[in-house]
Structure 1
Amino acid sequence: MNTSWEALRRRLTGAPALPGDALYAQLATGFNVAITAKPAAVVEARDAQDVAETVRFAAATGRAVAVQATGHGLADTYDEAILVHTGRLDECVVHAEEGWARVGAGVRWQQVLDAAAPHGLAPLAGSAPGVGVVGYTTGGGLGPVARTYGWASDRVRAVELVTGDGVLRRVTASDEPDLFWAVRGGKGALGIVTALEFDLIQLPSLYAGALYYAAADAPAVVHRWREWSSTLPPEATTSLAFLQLPPMPGVPEPLAGKFTVAVRFAWTSSAESGEAVLAPMRAAATPLIDAVQTIPYAALGMIHADPVEPMPVVEETDLFSSFPPEAADALLAVAGPSSGSPQVMVEVRQLGGALAAPAQHPSALCHRDAAFSLVMIGVPMPPVAPHASGVREALGPWLTGGALPNLSSATGAERIARSYDPATLSRLTALAAEYDPAHVFRVGQVPVR
């Protein structure tokens, strides 16, 4: 095989971009600009065959392969690897009568939300609709209505992916079930997904949004939220976040440059019943902003109001086994308004409900029994990482030490071991050895072997 870049170029519909090319800089940049990717080349794939050709070329030349579509999952510099950019795989088709959708690897959730909305249908999208469907779903997919409807990965009907041997495969629960198990929760361990098919739900609107409180009300709000969330039925999904948002365009004046507390809430039943359920939180203190209302499901991004522009961040995550009063006090002490916390956001998200239910088809997604998730996001400056470690240490009695694959993108054996229990990791590793004999998928968020 001719192993020159020109030889690869002749085999592609798309094109490889090399360092120094304008397209290289554009495609290699991720959402987290604190990480600078430095792959040997970036291939802008135009179809699934381009992906397969690139993987075969990498295996023949001894190079690693990584993948990026929207850049939200960037967690590695990809030194000397070939980065496959799947942003051009933009097929998005809603089969309204049957209630499912098919999307290419470059599709973002907002595209699916907008395509499904005219039919009263909805995908189990994440809190940030600008995130890519594939990376989010293969990492489990924890969204704003997750306690009602569960994990996005459990709604997958079929996956098309190129495995490490360069073969394009279509996998379902009955066709290649091992791969179907692995790709739902295993992220990039087994290959590069080129298309996904998944079920939609019937939910044209919901009662949802966020309440924002002043720093002085943090203790009352945190303890009320802890008590209140313990009584919620599965129609409710909620999270609590300490915010220190910078004064910048898009940040409301009452929140800009201040420490505030946000209570996010999504209710999948009637607005009247949702208002009654939320009443105890509205009574905990007077909100600076009350943005909870009936919204079109396609506007669910307003619930968390996640950033939409690339920015430099440092992320950390863990899972709670429980969140008792002592844990709430510890969180306030180490990350509350008087703590001197440098974090832009510290979030505790309630899990349980449908998230804890067994999947119809078992998958590689672990930690379904966790009670809450913890996520910290800060800007990369010296105090951030040590502070995040201090938060985890202070909350240690109630943390499991586990992590969900999508929360806080990271690499390395320690992070992978936190994402999967030993049996799951062993099975993923064995499957990777079978379907990726040249070990081309050895960078990014994949099992180490």
Structure 2
Amino acid sequence: MNTSTDFADLHLLRPGDPRYDDELAGFQTGFARHPALVVAARSAADVVAAVRYAAGRHLPVDVQATGHGLPGATEGGVLITTGRMDGVHVDAEARTARIRAGVRWGQVVAAAAPYGLAPLNGSAPSVGAVSYTLGGGLGILAREFGYAADRVRALDVVTADGRPRHVAPDSDPELYWALLGGGHGLGVVTELEIGLVPVPRLYGGSLAFDGREVDPAAVLRAYEEWTRTVPDGLTSSFAAVPYPDLPALPPRLRGRYVVSVRVAHTGTDGERLVAPLRELGPLLADSLREMPYAESHTIHSDPDVPHAYYGDSAVLGELDVERAGALLARTGPDAGAMVVVQINHLGGALARPAPNSVPYREGRFLVRLLTVGEREAARALLDPAFALLAPGTLGRSVNFAFGAGDRAEGLYDDVTRKRLAGVKSHYDPANLFRGNGSVSA
């Protein structure tokens, strides 16, 4: 519906338009967005027009690609949807890929695989590649290759003045630094150029235990000890999931409390490295195997059906296994709601300096808690669990603040926040962009 001469060639939707709700639909169904205007962008020029329109009327701007990481419910303003900005171009010789704003990680993996290359993608193929990278990007092979943001060569972005910019570390180092880690609040990134890594295959999968037959806290304790023995080329996580007894679930999961360790490794000694984990108790399932990188999403088998969820995270300097054990007791089958616990082993390449604003690189573990339901009820369940970890918590991860991203505290350390605020004051002094993790000027 073309309702303004400013947008003569744009696809616009307002509340009440037949396709308005469909355009807003995303993976996260728990938090409603009600923008005054939706701009369904198909090109960078569409984004420029939308930003200039909003800036001229002092309207806030937000962006949605796939709707996985919505910060929470929002009202009014202009929402730019980028799902139609879809395209991946791989340069196999340069080991790079150019990805547009609406591209999902599964598309990038599929485009790179024929050349024996891989991006630093996350565990879910349906997640938007650009937004995930702007928040840092903790990938399947993160300990070996670092954050996805560490491999960005250049960005195309529309800033609050409506100006399209090509940003590279040598052309605009301060904006480049800020976008990669704090980019959600600095503009609309329309395209990324990323580096790819030569990984055609890997050793990966998970070992799952019945949390009612083995002590989850004991498994976690052994896992933490095991992480101190593995090389940087091995990336892993611990998970604990109390599945409800629902007919929609596979029989092997219904009503079970599943505790698992997920592994991804590019070396040839995977079986030797995981051998101590196999001794922790009887296995409920074992999917560890050598696989093409294109199958790496099966390591975590993240849900692919849109649903409502709320979650947050804590980056830890060290994992206090006694406190973490108490967290497992609080979030297990007796919690009163399904709480998914995931603990990622950090370090390795993630700890190395990089010219971007991804914070807390000294962290050794990332704890993520996720549940369903209304936000205040979810917070009443999760906040006390995070409080158990507070003595060792460095901060929070902007990519894993599902519905909690409108709370800015802890998303950046003080030094990074102040520097981001300086860049924000230069490029967006009116705070046009107020998205997930935005830093006010």
Q: Give the TM-score of the pair, scaled to structure 2.
A: 0.95
DSSP 3-state at the match of 1:71: coil
CA distance in 2 between counterparts of 1:22 and 1:153 reads 38
- List per-residue Cα deviations over 1:116-148 (Å, max 9, x = no partner): 101100000001111011010000000111011
Alignment of 1:69-80 (within 5 A): 69-80=65-76
Contact 1:327 1:398 in 2 (8 A): no
Does residue 204 of the first structure (1) align with residue 200 of the second (2)? yes
Instruction: Give the CA deviation at 1:412.
Output: 6.5
Instruction: Give the CA deviation at 1:326.
Output: 2.2
- What is the match of residue 436 of structure 1? 428
Task: Go from structure 1 to structure 2 and tell me whether the alpha carbon gap of 1:238 and 1:250 turns closer, same or farther (over 3 Å shift).
Answer: farther
Instruction: Give the CA deviation at 1:51.
Output: 0.3
Q: 2:400 aligns with which of 399, 403, 407?
A: 407
Contact 1:153 1:185 in 2 (8 A): yes
Instruction: Give the CA deviation at 1:212.
Output: 1.0
For 1:447, give the aligned amino acid: V
Does residue 348 of the first structure (1) align with residue 343 of the second (2)? yes
Alignment of 1:40-439 (within 5 A): 40-215=36-211, 216-217=213-214, 218-246=216-244, 251-270=249-268, 273-337=269-333, 339-340=334-335, 342-359=337-354, 362-380=355-373, 384-400=378-394, 402-410=395-403, 415-439=407-431
Task: Go from structure 1 to structure 2 and tell me whether the alpha carbon gap of 1:327 and 1:258 turns closer, same or farther (over 3 Å shift).
Answer: same
For 1:439, give the aligned amino acid: N
Instruction: Give the CA deviation at 1:81.
Output: 1.0
DSSP 3-state at the match of 1:275: helix
Instruction: Give the CA deviation at 1:266.
Output: 0.8
CA distance in 1 between counterparts of 2:261 and 2:112 reads 28
For 1:422, give the aligned amino acid: D
Contact 2:32 2:74 in 1 (8 A): no
CA distance in 2 between counterparts of 1:45 and 1:249 reads 40
Instruction: Give the CA deviation at 1:96.
Output: 0.5
Instruction: Give the CA deviation at 1:323.
Output: 1.5
Contact 1:242 1:346 in 2 (8 A): yes
Instruction: Give the CA deviation at 1:434.
Output: 1.5
Task: Go from structure 1 to structure 2 and tell me whether the alpha carbon gap of 1:74 and 1:332 turns closer, same or farther (over 3 Å shift).
Answer: closer
DSSP 3-state at the match of 1:46: coil
For 2:186, give the aligned amino acid: L
DSSP 3-state at the match of 2:401: coil
- List per-residue Cα deviations over 1:85-143 (Å, max 9, x = no partner): 11111120000011100010010010010111011000000011110110100000001
DSSP 3-state at the match of 1:26: helix
Give the length in aligned residue pairs.
Answer: 437
For 2:143, give the aligned amino acid: R
Task: Go from structure 1 to structure 2 and tell me whether the alpha carbon gap of 1:30 and 1:249 turns closer, same or farther (over 3 Å shift).
Answer: farther
For 2:258, give the aligned amino acid: T
Task: Go from structure 1 to structure 2 and tell me whether the alpha carbon gap of 1:250 and 1:296 turns closer, same or farther (over 3 Å shift).
Answer: farther
CA distance in 2 between counterparts of 1:250 and 1:232 reads 37
Instruction: Give the CA deviation at 1:78.
Output: 3.0
Task: Go from structure 1 to structure 2 and tell me whether the alpha carbon gap of 1:399 and 1:424 turns closer, same or farther (over 3 Å shift).
Answer: closer
Instruction: Give the CA deviation at 1:424.
Output: 1.6
Contact 1:189 1:428 in 2 (8 A): no
For 2:346, give the aligned amino acid: L
Where does structure 2 lack aligned partners over 5 or more consecutive residues?
none
Instruction: Give the CA deviation at 1:383.
Output: 5.2
For 1:259, give the aligned amino acid: Y
For 2:424, give the aligned amino acid: A
Instruction: Give the CA deviation at 1:9.
Output: 2.6
Instruction: Give the CA deviation at 1:324.
Output: 3.6
- List per-residue Cα deviations over 1:166-214 (Å, max 9, x = no partner): 0000000111111111110013121000000010000001100111110
DSSP 3-state at the match of 2:74: coil
Instruction: Give the CA deviation at 1:251.
Output: 4.5
- List per-residue Cα deviations over 1:327-370 (Å, max 9, x = no partner): 34323332345x536233111111011100112xx111110001
State the Cα RMSD in Å.
1.9
Instruction: Give the CA deviation at 1:281.
Output: 0.5
DSSP 3-state at the match of 2:71: coil
For 2:206, give the aligned amino acid: A
Contact 1:342 1:383 in 2 (8 A): no
For 1:221, give the aligned amino acid: V
Contact 2:7 2:49 in 1 (8 A): no
- List per-residue Cα deviations over 1:241-294 (Å, max 9, x = no partner): 111234568844222222110111111111xx1000001101111111101111
CA distance in 2 between counterparts of 1:397 and 1:437 reads 35
Contact 1:116 1:123 in 2 (8 A): yes
CA distance in 1 between counterparts of 2:312 and 2:188 reads 26
- What is the match of residue 20 of structure 2? 24
CA distance in 1 between counterparts of 2:359 and 2:335 reads 34
CA distance in 2 between counterparts of 1:391 and 1:251 reads 27
